[in-house]
A and B are shown apart, each in its own frame.
Chain A
Amino acid sequence: MKSWLTTTDHKRIGLLYFWTAFSFFLIGGVEALFIRAQLAQPNGHLVTAETYNQLFTMHGTTMVFLALMPLSASFFNYIVPLQIGARDVAFPRLNAFSYWVFLLGGLFLNASWLVGPLFHAGRLNVAPDGGWFGYANLTERQFSPGPNIDFWLLGLQILGISSLAAGFNFIVTILNLRAPGMKMMRVPVFTWMTLVTQFLVITAFPVITVGLVFLMFDRFFGTHFYVSQSGATPILWQHLFWLFGHPEVYILILPAMGIVSDVLPTFARKPLFGYTVVVYSGVLIGFMGWGVWSHHMFSVGLGPIADSVFSATTMLIAVPTGVKIFNWIATLWGGDIRGTTALHFAVGFIAMFIIGGLSGVTHASPPTDLQQTDTYYVVAHIHYVLFGGTIMGLFAGIYYWWPKMTGRLLSETLGKWHFWLQFVGMNVAFFPMHLIGLLGMPRRVYTYAPELGVSDLNLLSTIGAFLIALSILVFVVNLLRSRTHGQRAGNDPWGGATLEWSIPSPPPVYNFSVIPTVANRLPRWKTEHHEPMRDPPAAPPGPIHVPGGSWWPMLAAFGLPILALAPLTHTLWLAFVGAAVLLAGIFLWAFEPFEV
């Protein structure tokens, strides 16, 4: 127990990220089921309008910040150091800090479901209810007087610190801790996309931090950043949010693209088609992701010039994305394909992401976007890219790397059931939403009238959502079953080309008994020019220094939610306690003897 609480081992932190994020994924999924159950029939009354607002807000917030990002982070932690031939990340204690801040931020946010009585709300749930992009000035105290939005803005501030700390850590890890011979253009694509993602994180998060700080000052200290009577423009929030929000979309999808770029070659037994182009496309997406944010704001009326420019950049960003898709398909072409579950999810990712990408291009045109905005058409699009895209990609990664992380294979039979249930379920759930939206049903409204003519389609969508839930149940059974019944994985169950497969599963605490020297991009495969590398010996030739654990990152992390409680409860002394805990944690951390 103690060894898990104080751990600084990237592999353990990776597993902690996985289980925590997966738990939040289940919570976000249950919220989605409530939403779909409410909408199964017209004039539904399963939940009240207020609770419905909280459900869709928390569903979006949870899935983006507490499920998808940290599930990717689970692989950054576990896999990236293994792929570059490192013994750990550059700053192991900072890594532990990121995890604890993430956990505490997630708990802080979700506590809002249960603490209504403490705020004399007259109900149990006071969860955030302003939508995941929390538009000002709806989120101002005047229009949202309860603690709901406070939980949201303080929770996101906490989570931002976790992401930023991880961002600096992984940038340094990937740039600086590569094994000898692991040049940048030999780095596996997943690690490359992790690097691009982290650059997006450290540049995008400060922007939302500022937006949230303004909101915090407006709500707690009476400033006027988003108060139109004072001459302010609520559009400022939209710019700050989407300046973060659109890079965030790529923060969510690039890791999944990286996973798929590693899974496809393994199971097609072919090098990735156009590695260089795939890498540069990812980098280009990272840059272009900064130039498209106002396509979320066409309905604001920014004028024909702004609309045209952002329309053009949005269509342009489809080009590097399309390039990647053709590269993946070309990788499969003529390959010696093994239809594993991981490959199913990777191919599912390509197919679903194409649909989501195409509906995305339709939003790029302002005239059509004005018809689609705030309707279920947009909900369909976001779920094709984030569920069909990111989740499918993450599941490809789970089936691919789970054996490495636990030493046991997941069942392929249950895996196929999981895949097909999920694949059919997601299309049944989300495809009708395109039609529901085009027929005029607005998003974020808790019910609809039978006269709108979307009742059957909504019922269908709800059935799909429960099919997805069933598929996740199969996956959970598979996960738990693998702990005792899973086949032993050995070093390399798939015949992988990259370094993580050269060591035992799960890897020893020091990862590599001898740090490998890398001579080419696919070190473990025989190619025309290269013999496969020799795997590191089973036992290290000499003693290997492994850093011990530390309590202080966790202590420092606890300071943040305590600090956040101060404004939430209007208690000044809590701010001093929180600051003291944070400072104590940082100083003890800084002066602790700890050799990496």
Chain B
Amino acid sequence: MTTHATHTSLGLDNRKMAFWAFIGSECLLFTSLISTYLVYKGKSVVGPYPHEILNIPFTSVSTFDLLMSSLMMVLALAAVQRGDMKWGKIWLFSTALLGLVFLGGQVIEFTEFVHKGLTLQTNLFGCTFFVLTGTHGAHVTVGVLWLLTLWVRALQGKLTSAHATTVEISGLYWHFVDVVWIVIFTVVYLIQ
């Protein structure tokens, strides 16, 4: 379904291949962060501890929201690929919106934790939790900016079905960030 502007040795679009390599590299980044979280799990010498503070029901809603944004992304790509830019715009904006909702949830969560006495400096749980989820949040922010940029380009009529690969690559990124969240949600929230 991709457009091949130029011939490539492996028949895969250059940008897409670069992006797969980038995602591979990002895996190592998040693996290092998550490993550190696990290594330091239970090593905090003062509270608050994870079980006192993590709000699983609240974060489950955030997680569901992010999962749904991936669905929107799939719909956005499908719409752009079949040249239906009206729905392409709607789904692109919905994806970004759900991303923003997720970020809003993270802001609420972080604020609540700070009120309950957990900051970056409190203990090892605070250090590892905020840096891990914060790095993920930064990735979501970049994704939202990217999607909004595509949406604005689509509104201007500069993003058409000829740019399906561009949308596909932003989708790769978005799904990757989503998958990372599934791992973080499982490791940090569910398996305490």
Contact = CB atoms under 8 A, between A and B. Distances in A.
Interface of A: 90-91, 164, 167-169, 171-172, 175-178, 182, 202-207, 209-211, 213-214, 217, 221-225, 230-233, 236, 240, 243, 587, 590, 596
B108 interface: no
Interface stretch (B31-39, B64-72, B174-182): B31-39
B120 A223 contact: yes
21 contacts: A167-B21, A171-B21, A172-B14, A172-B21, A175-B17, A176-B9, A203-B28, A204-B28, A210-B36, A217-B127, A221-B121, A222-B120, A223-B126, A224-B124, A225-B128, A230-B123, A231-B44, A232-B124, A233-B39, A240-B36, A243-B32
A231 B43 contact: yes
B157 interface: no
B12 A223 contact: no
A206 B14 contact: no
Interface of B: 6, 8-10, 12, 14, 17-18, 21-22, 24-26, 28-29, 32-33, 36, 39-40, 43-45, 120-121, 123-124, 126-128, 131, 135, 149
Nearest to A235: B39
Contacts, number: 103
Contact of A236 (B25, B26, B36, B149): B36
Nearest to B12: A176
Interface centre among B6, B18, B131 (most CB of A within 10 A): B18
B36 A176 contact: no
A248 B135 CA distance: 24
Nearest to A590: B149
Nearest to B25: A202
Contacts of A91: 14, 18
Given A171-B21, A176-B12, 16 more contacts: A168-B21, A172-B18, A177-B14, A202-B21, A203-B28, A205-B25, A206-B25, A206-B26, A207-B32, A223-B127, A230-B45, A232-B43, A236-B36, A240-B32, A587-B149, A596-B6
A163 to B, nearest CB: 11
A131 B55 CA distance: 43
Contacts of A178: 9
B7 to A, nearest CB: 9
B39 A236 contact: yes
Contacts of B18: 90-91, 168-169, 171-172
A224 B123 contact: yes
B179 to A, nearest CB: 16
Contacts of B44: 230-231
Contacts of A172: 14, 17-18, 21
Contacts of A233: 39
Contacts of B131: 213-214, 217, 223
Contacts of B33: 210
A223 B10 CA distance: 46
Given A177-B9, A202-B25, A217-B131, A230 B17 contact: no
A90 B24 contact: no
B40 A232 contact: yes
A176 B32 contact: no
Contacts of B8: 176-177
A512 to B, nearest CB: 15
Contacts of A168: 18, 21-22, 25
Contact of B25 (A167, A169, A221, A223): A167
A230 B44 CA distance: 7
A177 B13 CA distance: 11
A221 B120 contact: yes
B165 to A, nearest CB: 14
A209 B120 contact: no
Given A171-B21, A230-B123, A231-B124, A209 B10 contact: no
B148 to A, nearest CB: 12
A231 B45 contact: yes
B31 to A, nearest CB: 8
A175 B131 CA distance: 35
B34 to A, nearest CB: 10
Contacts of B39: 233, 236
B73 to A, nearest CB: 19
Contacts of A176: 8-10, 12, 14, 17
B17 A224 contact: no
Nearest to B46: A230
B26 A223 contact: no
Contacts of A207: 28-29, 32
B53 to A, nearest CB: 17
A206 B29 contact: yes
A448 B69 CA distance: 64
Nearest to A182: B9
Contacts of B123: 224, 230-231
A221 B128 CA distance: 13
Nearest 6 pairs of A and B residues by beta carbon: A206-B29, A210-B32, A206-B28, A223-B127, A176-B8, A202-B25
B121 A223 contact: yes
A91 B21 CA distance: 14
Nearest to A164: B25
B67 to A, nearest CB: 25
A290 B44 CA distance: 30
Contacts of B21: 167-168, 171-172, 202
B45 A203 contact: no
